């Protein structure tokens, strides 16, 4: 049974596979019956009389229905072991929150014409590729994060919200994740007021309560396995350099505790470039390590988009990734269906050729 672990198919009840040893016994039984039938025909005094009475023999067609029946029996035995295979299926994710960075660093031109415009164009292309039944909401973040378009099916409203982006100071990546979660799970006790005014923003501010601490009358939050919530996902596009707001990894843990995957898209270059605005200048670099850590802790994936063309390809990949997914699925029903078809085919051919069922 250890050899079965190397196969692309696993079995929930592998002990039933021992029943496959019945197949050689059935083959031997069929061979014995055919030999017995042949010996019975030799009892006639003259084989020529037998041939004239029976006409031309069925030849290879005689063996086709029994072989099909044997294959049907094998399929039923495999189905009884409850095989599980990793196959590609339509995704159950019906809601996507697109969290997009509109901080001042997005004016950098290391992605042409600049990071913000390239991300806007790619986001629109991403929305165009998504199936129409997938709902999308948009969160924009800089020094704070806010929902600029509630979850909707209207691609026109989503595109209009993307066109209205305005650059602002600072980058609150963790806050963007928390606001995205609050949009996915309204009324579940995520304290956005504490996120804005509590210890997460200002280390000298009074200690606020945990973002996951339930308010009066609410049930305590119970964490689930990371990546287990398959009805929604968050797509986070940023250069990854947090300067304020909720700690990025704390927010990622909140997403992981709710089973929500966060797919991070790093826009810009690792070397970055120096940008200036209203008398100040700074070098803005892509912080890949932070984004990879977010994706890893939530069972999501990280994508690097160093150029405008790469950014478009990333969104094309994400579109496919979010609409189909590979997952382990029990396929015993398919084997049972195959067995039924083989039985019907065996009986049909037997009736057609020999006017009897086997």
Task: Give per-residue pLDDT as tens, 100-120.
Answer: 999 888 888 888 888 899 889
* pLDDT the model gives residue 286: 84
Are 20 and 99 part of one and the same domain?
no
Report if residue 98 sits inside a domain. Answer: yes
* pLDDT the model gives residue 197: 44
Q: Is 52's pLDDT higher than 90?
A: no
Give me the torsion for CA of 329, 334, 336, 340, rounded to 10°.
170
Distance CA 169, CA 148 (A): 17
Report if residue 188 sits inside a domain. Answer: yes
Antiparallel, parallel or unpaired: β 302-305 and 261-267 = parallel
* pLDDT the model gives residue 91: 57
Report if residue 320 sits inside a domain. Answer: no
Are 286 and 349 part of one and the same domain?
no
Are 206 and 105 part of one and the same domain?
yes
- Looking at per-residue pLDDT, the higher value among 79 and 176 belongs to 176
Q: What CATH number is associated with residue 276?
A: 3.40.50.410
What's the mean pLDDT when you consider all of the chain?
78
* pLDDT the model gives residue 254: 92
Q: Is 23's pLDDT higher than 50?
A: yes
Band of the pLDDT at 89, cuts 50, 70, 90? low
Contact 152, 135 (CB under 8 A): yes
Please count the structural domains in the chain: 2
- Looking at per-residue pLDDT, the higher value among 234 and 20 belongs to 234
Q: Is 180's pLDDT higher than 90?
A: yes
Q: Which residues contact 57 (CB under 8 A, 6 or more apart)?
A: none
Are 37 and 113 part of one and the same domain?
no
Q: Is 274's pLDDT higher than 70?
A: no
Report which DSSP code applies to 358. -
* pLDDT the model gives residue 4: 41
* pLDDT the model gives residue 33: 76
Are 72 and 119 part of one and the same domain?
no
pLDDT digits (tens, 9 = 90+) for 217-234: 566 678 899 988 888 889
Closest residue by Cα to residue 274 from 143, 115, 110, 141: 110
The proportion of the chain whose per-residue pLDDT surpasses 70, expressed as a percent, equals 74
Q: Is 213's pLDDT higher than 90?
A: no
Give me the domain span that covers residue 25: 2-87+330-354
Burial class (CB in 10 A: 0-12, 13-18, 19+), 60: exposed
* pLDDT the model gives residue 40: 62
Q: Is 198's pLDDT higher than 50?
A: no
Report if residue 130 sits inside a domain. Answer: yes
Are 100 and 43 part of one and the same domain?
no
* pLDDT the model gives residue 207: 42
Are 239 and 201 part of one and the same domain?
yes
Mean pLDDT on 46-71: 67
Distance CA 138, CA 158 (A): 7
Place of tokens 């964490």: 223
Q: Is 293's pLDDT higher than 90?
A: yes
Residue 87 phi, psi dihedral angles, 5° rounding: -130, 160
Q: Which two tokens stand for residue 104?
A: 């001042």
Q: Which residues contact 146 (CB under 8 A, 6 or more apart)?
A: 139, 140, 179
User: Both ends of the chain: CA-CA distance in Å?
Assistant: 35
Are 137 and 221 part of one and the same domain?
yes
Are 134 and 271 part of one and the same domain?
yes
The proportion of the chain whose per-residue pLDDT surpasses 90, expressed as a percent, equals 23
Q: pTM for this structure?
A: 0.64
Are 121 and 25 part of one and the same domain?
no
Are 207 and 170 part of one and the same domain?
yes
């Amino acid at each position: 049974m250890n050899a079965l672990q190397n196969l692309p198919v696993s079995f929930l009840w592998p002990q039933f596979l021992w029943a496959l040893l019945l197949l050689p016994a059935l083959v031997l039984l069929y061979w014995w019956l055919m030999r017995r039938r042949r010996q019975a025909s030799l009892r006639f005094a003259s084989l020529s009389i037998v041939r004239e009475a029976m006409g031309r023999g069925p030849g290879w067609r005689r063996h086709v229905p029994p072989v099909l029946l044997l294959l049907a029996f094998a399929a039923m035995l495999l189905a009884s072991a409850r095989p599980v295979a990793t196959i590609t299926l339509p995704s159950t994710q019906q809601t996507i929150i697109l969290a997009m960075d509109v901080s001042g660093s997005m004016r950098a031109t290391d992605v042409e014409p600049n990071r913000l415009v390239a991300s806007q164009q790619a986001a629109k292309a991403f929305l165009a590729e998504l199936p129409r039944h997938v709902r999308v909401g948009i969160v924009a973040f800089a020094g704070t994060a806010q929902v600029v378009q509630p979850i909707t099916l209207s691609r026109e409203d989503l595109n209009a919200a993307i066109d209205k982006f305005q650059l602002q100071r600072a980058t609150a990546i963790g806050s963007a994740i928390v606001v995205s979660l609050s949009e996915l799970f309204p009324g579940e006790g995520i304290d956005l007021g504490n996120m804005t005014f509590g210890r997460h923003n200002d280390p000298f501010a009074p200690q606020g309560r945990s973002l996951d601490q339930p308010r009066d009358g609410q049930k305590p939050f119970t964490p689930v396995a990371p990546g287990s919530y398959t009805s929604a996902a968050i797509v986070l596009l940023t250069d990854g350099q947090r300067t304020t707001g909720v700690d990025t990894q704390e927010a990622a843990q909140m997403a992981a505790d709710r089973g929500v995957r966060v797919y991070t898209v790093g826009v810009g270059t690792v070397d970055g470039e120096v940008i200036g605005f209203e008398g100040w200048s700074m070098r803005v670099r892509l912080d890949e390590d932070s984004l990879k850590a977010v994706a890893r802790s939530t069972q999501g994936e990280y994508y690097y988009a160093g150029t405008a063309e790469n950014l478009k390809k990333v969104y094309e990949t994400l579109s496919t990734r979010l609409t189909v997914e590979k997952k382990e699925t029990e396929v015993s029903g398919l084997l049972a269906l195959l067995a039924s078809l083989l039985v019907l085919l065996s009986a049909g051919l037997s009736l057609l050729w020999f006017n009897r069922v086997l």
